Structure 1
Amino acid sequence: MNKFKIRAAAVAITALSACGGAPAGPPPLEGAKMGGAFRLTNPDGKTVTDADFAGKYRLVYFGYTFCPDVCPVDVQIMGQGLSAFEKMDPVRGAKVIEYARHVLDRCVPLKTGSHLDSTGYRVVDNELAVTLANGKTVGLKNRAQFVGFQGEMDAPSSVLLSHHGLHLDIIINRKTPIGSTDAAGVCDLVLESALSTILDLEDSVAVVDAADKVLAYGNWLGILKGT
């Protein structure tokens, strides 16, 4: 699996380098002795072959039907690569930022107006000041949700907000493909996730039969009930 991860990373890096404005040339992996013809079935039951992806970059991952001792993080790693591709697409990026603004309206609303209409974020008197498309400047409905910022007060590169103890980080950079097309220069919104614990009793090597499952789920129920 380690060798595969290295190869997958090489594929992602090489593919990203082709996203620039340079004329299209021979595929960077042309002649590489890896991969090959395949015939698989997709989740809809349809047959998919390598011919369906002719002329396109592709990464085929053969994973697990269940986790052995520890679930592999390969899919997460590939997800990071897909995110990098998405950030290179201004049109898709604009849609993501639009959705992010809806999240801001729901979690950290303004006194009046909407984050959808924001054209600039700055800090005035230790409070967040948001300039709207109509020229008005407004603050947060709840001033306590403003945590801090990075960069200059008149042009922060990051604005940190809070919601129920978790943080939302507005990333501002007008030099990026996404930020250059956004009215406020917003290029990303980083969300802090709540701490969580996954209790897996289906694939656990310690729970192998019905009796084990009954005992394990009984213990779990006792924890939830506080007994």
Structure 2
Amino acid sequence: MTTPAALPAPALLVIDDEAQIRRLLRVTLEAGGYRVREAETGAQGLHEIALNAPDGIILDLGLPDMDGGEVVRRLREWSRLPVLVLSVRGSEDDKIAALDAGADDYLTKPFGGRELLARVRAILRRVQSTGEQAIVQIGDIEIDQVARLVRRKGEEVHLTAKEYALLRLLVQHRGKVVTHRQILRELWGPQAEENTHYLRVQMTHLRQKLEANPQTPQLLKTEPGVGYRLIDATA
């Protein structure tokens, strides 16, 4: 029997207008086991975040179209993705301003590769541990939020990155209704709030993989006209 593939390694988005810095970050991060995408401007970065939902963001403050602090402020209007700021600005005021805008950590350039990877691990771990169990068991479904693995009746289930993001959001709010708008904002960005067909397609795929009978789901419930709810079988 073929073993289903594990979910891909965590993805990081680097937002920096300097090509040499982006190359350095890509080499360092890929050697550390991460997938890397790149953006040169704040606008491109925000678009990339909404389109591909990375696991974390590495952000320069000195972008050509907007200050990195503005990128963080806009992002925090609709997402809690972890942000590590990298900047040549080393003053206390600059660090405080970035952290107050919503950044999770701040590292001054130049930096060492080992410290960068340690900071990335820390911000990702902090998000994983905020009010979350490492392993959540709901019915015959087991979600390992650290290893990013999902099993049904002990067998690993292959989910796409977007399917896993949807399941993880419902796990975080299990037992409660999560509205269509909230899910669309979290997974696709604020411009996608009316595109409920995106969500219907992903939910259909998720049910086909996790429900015993996708036509009459017992775990992934629809709240008509409102959203979806993951039944908390342990409640």
Q: TM-score band (shorter)? A: under 0.3
The structure, 1 or 2, with the larger RCO (C-alpha pairs under 8 Å, 6+ apart) is: 2
Q: TM-score, normalised by structure 1?
A: 0.23
Higher-Rg structure is 1
Q: Would you tell me which structure has more helix in proportion to its own residues? A: 2
